[in-house]
Every structure is written in structure tokens, then in C-alpha cells.
């Protein structure tokens, strides 16, 4: 399995997470359609938030990155959110 973590912490990050929360159903439908989807979490932090996507392989997380980028451009372009810090890698342990 492969995980990608996107961290948003600039001045538009809080507004982005407000938008994501208001659009939960749309975001869920988008991410669940990613091939090899395993799990997805959105987490609010003090300075914005993070998303955590787990897929069966890197191609799934790569697609999730592209979909997230496109969704934010389409729905949140007015928020002036900087690109996220992206951390990714192969899972060593996956518990559920």
C-alpha cells in the first residue's frame, strides 16, 4: 500500500478546510472513485489541515493528488491556497 499526506498551512488553508467540510459528499465521491482506494481522512489543524490518502499502490495516490489539485483549482481558486507540502511513501503497517 502507498500513502500520501498533503499538508496545507498558509493563509488560505482554514478557508479551504471550511470548503472541504461543506463539500464532504462531493469530495468523498471523487476520492472513492480512485483505483485502489483504501482510505481517506481530512484533519483540521491549528494552522489549516492535512489530508491522508491510502491506496493499494502509488498510481492510486498519484491520481488522488491530481484530482485534489483539479478540485481545488475548480472550487477554491479564489482562496489563494498555496500548494500543499506532500509527503508520501510505502506503508510499513496498516491497521484498521
Cell 483539479 sits at which residue? 70
* Fold (topology level) of 2-90: Alpha-Beta Plaits (3.30.70)
From the number of C-beta atoms within 10 Å of its C-beta (0-12, 13-18, 19+), residue 30 rates as middle
Alpha-carbon span 92 to 89, nearest angstrom:
9
| 86 grid coordinates | 506532500
38-65 residue pLDDT tens = 999 999 999 999 999 999 999 999 999 9
Q: What is the pTM of this model?
A: 0.91
Alpha-carbon span 85 to 4, nearest angstrom:
10
Question: In the structure, what pLDDT confidence band is assigned to residue 80 with cuts at 50, 70 and 90?
Answer: confident
| 12 grid coordinates | 488560505
Query: Which residues lie across from 84 on neighbouring strands?
Result: none
Write down the pLDDT at residue 1: 95
| 34 grid coordinates | 480512485
Amino acid at each position: 500500500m502507498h500513502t500520501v499526506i498533503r499538508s496545507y498551512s498558509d493563509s488560505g488553508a482554514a478557508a479551504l478546510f471550511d470548503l472541504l467540510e461543506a463539500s464532504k459528499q462531493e469530495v468523498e465521491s471523487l476520492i472513492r472513485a480512485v483505483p485502489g482506494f483504501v482510505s481517506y481522512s481530512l484533519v483540521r489543524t491549528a494552522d489549516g489541515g492535512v489530508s491522508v490518502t491510502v491506496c493499494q499502490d502509488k498510481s492510486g495516490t498519484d491520481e488522488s493528488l491530481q484530482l485534489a489539485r483539479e478540485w481545488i483549482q475548480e472550487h477554491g481558486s479564489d482562496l489563494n491556497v498555496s500548494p500543499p507540502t506532500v509527503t508520501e511513501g510505502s506503508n510499513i503497517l496498516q491497521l484498521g
